[in-house]
Structure 1
Amino acid sequence: MRIAFKLFASLTDYLPPERKGNRLELEVEEGVTVADLIHRYNVPERSAHLVLVNGVYIPPAERIRHRLKDADELAIWPPVAGG
């Protein structure tokens, strides 16, 4: 199945060089979870602050259980400080 994996801000450093901007099109196995991809790309869990699948927030406790489906878009943002 095919999904879109997007990392924002400082997290883009975890994507491989063949990415297109902050986006990577991936072919993944059935049953892959949000947590599986966070670990596969070595994104520190503390840095995966805002995690959305198709625009819907996935809380930390659900990431290990939330299975992705074909054509899903997984987007992750780090914590942001501002002023």
Structure 2
Amino acid sequence: MKVGFKLFASLTDLLPPERDGNRVELDLEEGTTIADVIARFRVPERSAHLVLVNGLFIPREARASRRLAEHDELAVWPPIAGG
């Protein structure tokens, strides 16, 4: 199944060089979870602060059980401080 995956801010460097900006299209097996994708790209758990699937927030405790579906868009942001 095809899934879009975006990493933002400092996490963008974890994507492969052939990425399209901060996005890659993944070909995943059925049953792949959010946690599986985060681990595949070696995103540190503490750095996966804000996680959205199709624009909907996924809490930390749901990421290991939330399976992705065809054409989902998974986006991950690190904690960001500002002033």
Shorter-chain-normalised TM-score: which range? over 0.9
> How far does the alpha carbon of each residue in 1:32-73 deviate from its partner, in whole angstroms, 9 at most, with x for none?
000000000000000000000000000000000000000000
CA distance in 2, matches of 1:16, 1:70: 21
1:46 lines up with 2:34 in the alignment? no
Quote the RMSD (CA, aligned, Å).
Answer: 0.3
Count of aligned residue pairs for this structure pair: 83
> How far does the alpha carbon of each residue in 1:3-40 deviate from its partner, in whole angstroms, 9 at most, with x for none?
00000000001100010000001100000000000000
Runs of 5+ consecutive residues of structure 2 not aligned to the other structure? none
CA distance in 2, matches of 1:3, 1:72: 5
SS of 1:29's partner is coil
Q: TM-score, normalised by structure 2?
A: 0.99
| Aligned-pair identity (%) | 67
Correspondence for 1:82: 82
Runs of 5+ consecutive residues of structure 1 not aligned to the other structure? none
1:67 lines up with 2:60 in the alignment? no
